[in-house]
Amino acid sequence: MTTLRKKNRLETFLYKEWYFFITINVQNHACVFWEVVGEEMKNNQYGKIVEKCWYDLPNHYWNCKLLDLIIMPNHLHAIISVEKGVGEGFKPSLTKKHWLSEVIRGFKTFSSRRLHESWLTSFKRQRSFYDHVIRNEQDLLRIQEYIHLNSYKRKNDEYYIW
């Protein structure tokens, strides 16, 4: 008997352009992106690789705009916009519009490759990603606050190991 996968997209919403709140998890919630430095938690070399790959996305996907990012020990939260307009410096005839799922797939592929090249050969992410369509400015402000305060809440995370 085959079970159908739960649809994780709004069927009536066009995913062509909008702001999205994204969460991408490491498989089995492995804490690989942070290290303890004195009394502080900071991105380690792997977290910095992920951060660099994230901020490099507009160089590969002309119609995405990055707003906020927080890298946690075992996941990341971000706000990304996939826009309809023409990217600066690109000829529309030579480019295509990239959908949200394609941009995230590219990010996961690029960053996983870089992590494997940096000797984190066992690194894997959870399948897919979580997204929330940001519907208005209040929603955006609420999510931005959540992202900026997220690192302070890490001790409440059931996977927190430090």
pLDDT lower than 70: segments of the chain = 1-17, 84-97, 153-162
Whole-angstrom distance, CA of residue 158 vs CA of residue 25: 14
Give the residue from 135, 83, 101, 118 showing the smallest Cα distance to 24: 101
Given this model, what pLDDT does residue 93 score? 39
129 and 44 in contact (C-beta within 8 Å)? no
Given this model, what pLDDT does residue 13 score? 52
* Tokens of residue 140, six digits: 């955006």
All structural domains of the chain with their residue ranges? 18-156
* Contact residues for 4 (Cβ-Cβ < 8 A; gap 6+): none
CATH topology for the 18-156 domain: Alpha-Beta Plaits (3.30.70)
Given this model, what pLDDT does residue 52 score? 96
Given this model, what pLDDT does residue 132 score? 92
